[in-house]
């Protein structure tokens, strides 16, 4: 579930008439850093960007404190990344991870499983079917993907947010990636993120729009990062971005 409007031309590889893929261009509009919303200040930044983004689109009513959060933000399986441009919070994305391992207390509930319970269960069952050796399935839901209204036309930020999504897929060893997507965003998710429509539309909690459940399995990861190189975080999985979980600020694009 997201608040984005993009035309992903400059960041995607193209077939140049048989000459091979063109390098993905990255515009430069200031230094980009990111933090995981572990402390009160960073959480407030995430909730404020969310509030202003959804309010500007007419998807929520104005809240007196200017913050938009829900019960999932306090769950142990919820992780929110805030992106800063020159120190200003400009975008945010939340990841909710479901782990079917019964030993992982508090990791069995995500927004998508409440809205599409049968469909999410079916996807998790498929992920474990025939697996040798057996391992509990994990799914990562992408939600609350927002940009501050002042940066609503900044297409690079959308790709940066999905860069963190591909990192989280690797970090959590997710078998399935899920997202509850508005109808007008489905072509982007289908073409760029390679998610397929599963079910919908159904109302997403807390906002004034309906979404479709979309999903893809881990086997599509390589083709996603090949087609959109900015998404490829494999080389830094064991490096810089891991510092997010220690409460540190990281550079989005690292040497």
What's the chain's length in residues? 255
Architecture of domain 32-251: 3-Layer(aba) Sandwich (3.40)
Give the pLDDT band of residue 16 (cuts 50, 70, 90): very low
pLDDT digits (tens, 9 = 90+) for 46-75: 999 999 999 999 999 999 999 999 999 999
**High-pLDDT (> 70) share of the chain, %:** 84
Query: pLDDT tens digits for 146-158?
Result: 999 999 999 999 9
Q: What is the pTM of this model?
A: 0.86
**pLDDT band of 245, cuts 50, 70, 90:** very high
Instruction: Write down the domain spans for the chain.
Output: 32-251
Cα 202 from Cα 213, distance rounded (Å): 9
d(CA 13, CA 10): 8
- CB 33, CB 84: distance < 8 Å: yes
Tokens matching residue 228: 């959109």
Measured CA distances, 167 to 88, 119, 174, 232, 233 (Å):
22, 25, 10, 8, 6
Enumerate the H helices of the chain as residue ranges: 40-56, 111-115, 117-128, 155-171, 186-188, 221-227
């Amino acid at each position: 579930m997201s608040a984005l409007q993009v035309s992903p031309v400059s960041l995607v590889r193209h077939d140049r008439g048989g000459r091979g893929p063109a390098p993905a261009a990255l515009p430069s509009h200031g230094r980009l850093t990111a933090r995981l919303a572990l402390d009160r200040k960073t959480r407030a930044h995430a909730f404020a960007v969310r509030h202003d983004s959804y309010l500007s689109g007419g998807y929520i009513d104005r809240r007196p404190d200017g913050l938009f959060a829900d019960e999932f933000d306090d769950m142990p399986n919820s992780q929110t990344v805030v992106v800063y441009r020159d120190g200003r919070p400009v975008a945010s994305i939340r990841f909710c991870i479901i782990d079917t391992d019964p030993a992982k207390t508090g990791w069995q509930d995500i927004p998508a499983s409440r809205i599409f319970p049968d469909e999410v269960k079916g996807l998790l069952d498929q992920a474990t079917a025939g697996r040798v050796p057996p391992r509990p399935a994990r799914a990562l839901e992408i939600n609350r993907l927002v940009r501050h209204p002042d940066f609503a036309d900044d297409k690079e930020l959308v790709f940066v947010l999905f860069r963190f999504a591909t990192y989280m897929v690797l970090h959590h060893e997710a078998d399935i990636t899920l997202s509850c997507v508005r109808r007008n965003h489905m072509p982007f998710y289908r073409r760029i993120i390679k998610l397929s429509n599963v079910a919908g539309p159904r109302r997403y909690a807390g906002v004034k729009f309906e979404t479709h459940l979309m999903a893809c399995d881990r086997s599509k990861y390589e083709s996603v990062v090949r087609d959109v190189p900015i998404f490829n975080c494999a080389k830094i999985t064991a490096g810089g971005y891991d510092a997010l979980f220690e409460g540190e600020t990281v550079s989005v694009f690292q040497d």
